[in-house]
Amino acid sequence: MDANFAKENEPMYDAPLGKNDVDAKDTKIAAKDVQVYYGDTHAIKDVSVDLLDKTVTAFIGPSGCGKSTFLRCLNRMNDTIDICRVEGLIELDGEDIYDKRVDPVQLRAKVGMVFQKPNPFPKSIYDNVAYGPKIHGLAKNKAELDEIVEKALRRGAIWDEVKDRLDAPGTGLSGGQQQRLCIARAVATEPEVLLMDEPCSALDPIATAQVEELIDELRASYSVVIVTHSMQQAARVSQKTAFFHLGNLVEYGETSQIFTNPVDPRTESYITGRIG
């Protein structure tokens, strides 16, 4: 396990972040027997998984295995797709998120999301970050909003780069900066869970390293779920890993264990590069 926390020992940030003990954590999201259908296609089959608070969980698996679909179920982003149907139980802090009483808007404020391609709005950097707090009414006045924006940008590890040009359009930043802006934007609404759908796939290695570093920092405050294609990335940033294959959750466990000693032969095949 220690191998996976190598980064913690880097002197770049404060120590307390890494001191979380996996065993002591609560379950944040619990999924039981989740089925997802796209029209007639059965995309997710019988997936049950408990995602922990203050932990980075990685979803890995070959393309089309359903990991992104499952991720999008967790904040009901699939609602925006007409033909998509979700069955089974998904609970956030013990509350069914597919309950009739749930407004997806309220849910998504608690379960934020960062997308594959950086998608800053065609607005200023400031407005990009302030958008979420504004719609959720998190700030009473301009000063408070300024504070929230600054905090979010700092947490997104991009404050120093943009603090002098908050009025510049968010689309003018580089790819890595854009993605960190999007993370800052997601963080600004004070979510409890942060879902990331292949957040580094459109970035170059340097930007990827910066974002990965950021993800590790975010673990202190949130439950982070990350879908990734890169097994190295999963190994670098996550504490827990779930391996999906053909819509099934094949194996879920400690990242170190999945990568060093997988139980299921399919997991082993994937990790050693035979399927994927």
Partner 1 sequence: MTDASIGGAAAPRKKSSIHELDARTRKRNASEARFKAFGLGAILIGLFFLVTLAVSIVRSGLPAFTETVVDVEFTLSQAQFDEAESTLFKTAAYSDLFIADLRGTLEERGMQVAFDEAAIERLLGKVGGTLREFYRANPEQLGQPVAFQLPASSRVDGYFNGRVTRETLEDTRFLQGSDLDLVDALHEAGVIRQDFNWTFLTGADSGVDNPGGAGIGASVVGSFFMMLVVLVLALPIGVAASIYLEEFAPQNKFTDLIEVNISNLAAVPSIVFGILGLAVFIQFMHLPQSAPLVGGLVLTLMTLPTIIISTRAALKAVPPSIRDAALGVGASKMQAVFHHVLPLAMPGILTGTIIGLAQALGETAPLLLIGMVGFVARGYPEGFLGGFTEPNSAMPAQIYTWAARADASFYEKAWGGIIVLLVFLLLMNVIAIILRRKFERRW
Partner 2 sequence: MPLLWLFLIVLAIAAVGFVLGRARALASAGGDVRNLHSLPSYYGNNVAIKTVVPAILVMLIWLIVQPMIVNSTISGMIPESSVAENSSLGLVMSEVRRTAEGLDNAVANGDMTEEFARDARADFTDVTQRLKDAGQIVTSDVTQPILRAAQSYRIMNATGNLIMSGIVLALALSGLFWGLRDSHAAFRARNTVEAAVRALLIGAASIAILTTIGIILSLVFNTVEFFRLYPATDFFFGTSWAPSFSGRGGSSDLGVLPLLWGTFYISIVALVVAVPIGLFAAVYLSEYATPRVRAVAKPMLEVLAGIPTIVYGLFALLTVGPLLLGIFGDDGLGWMQAGTAVMTAGLVMGIMLIPFVSSLSDDIINAVPQAMRDGSYGLGATQSETIKQVILPAALPGIVGAILLAASRAIGETMIVVLGAGAAAKLSLNPFEAMTTVTAKIVSQLTGDADFSSPEALVAFALGMTLFVLTLGLNVLALYIVRKYREQYE
Select the binding partner of residue 14 from partner 2, partner 1, none (C-beta < 5 to 8 A, by kind): partner 1
Structure tokens at 119: 């998608």
Taking the C-alpha atoms of residue 100 and residue 202, their distance in angstroms, rounded to an integer, is 36
Tokens 């099934």 found at: 248
Which window, 31-39, 62-70, 131-139, 263-271, contacts partner 1 (CB under 8 A)? 131-139
Least Å from the CB of residue 62 to partner 1: 31
Note whether 66 and 244 are within 8 A (CB).
yes
Structure tokens at 264: 């299921």
Taking the C-alpha atoms of residue 60 and residue 267, their distance in angstroms, rounded to an integer, is 10
Q: Give the amino acid at 131.
A: Y
Q: Give the amino acid at 153.
A: L
Least Å from the CB of residue 189 to partner 2: 6
Select the binding partner of residue 170 from partner 2, partner 1, none (C-beta < 5 to 8 A, by kind): none
Least Å from the CB of residue 159 to partner 1: 5
Q: Which residue of 31, 58, 107, 231 would you call a contact of partner 1, by CB under 8 A?
A: 107
What is the total residue count of the chain?
276
- Chain contacts with partner 2 (rule: CB under 8 A): 75, 77, 80, 82, 105-110, 112-115, 117, 119-123, 131-132, 135-136, 182, 185-186, 189, 195
Select the binding partner of residue 101 from partner 2, partner 1, none (C-beta < 5 to 8 A, by kind): partner 1
Least Å from the CB of residue 24 to partner 2: 29
Taking the C-alpha atoms of residue 87 and residue 9, their distance in angstroms, rounded to an integer, is 43
Interface with partner 1 includes 16 (CB under 8 A)? Answer: yes
Least Å from the CB of residue 134 to partner 1: 11
Q: Give the amino acid at 205.
A: P
Nearest to 241 by CA among 263, 221, 220, 222: 263
Interface with partner 1 includes 192 (CB under 8 A)? Answer: yes
The CB density around residue 156, as the number of other CB atoms within 10 Å, is 26
Site for partner 1 in 140-159 (CB under 8 A): 151, 153-159
Question: Max Cα separation, the chain?
Answer: 56
Helices assigned H by DSSP within the chain: 67-73, 104-110, 125-136, 142-155, 159-162, 175-187, 205-218, 231-237, 255-260, 265-271
Structure tokens at 266: 């399919």
Q: Which residue of 146, 190, 254, 268 would you call a contact of partner 1, by CB under 8 A?
A: 190
Q: Which is nearer to partner 2, 155 or 236 (CB)?
A: 155
Select the binding partner of residue 186 from partner 2, partner 1, none (C-beta < 5 to 8 A, by kind): partner 2
Residues near partner 1 (CB under 8 A) are 12-14, 16-17, 92, 95-97, 99, 101-103, 105-107, 110, 135-137, 151, 153-160, 190, 192, 213, 217-218, 220-222
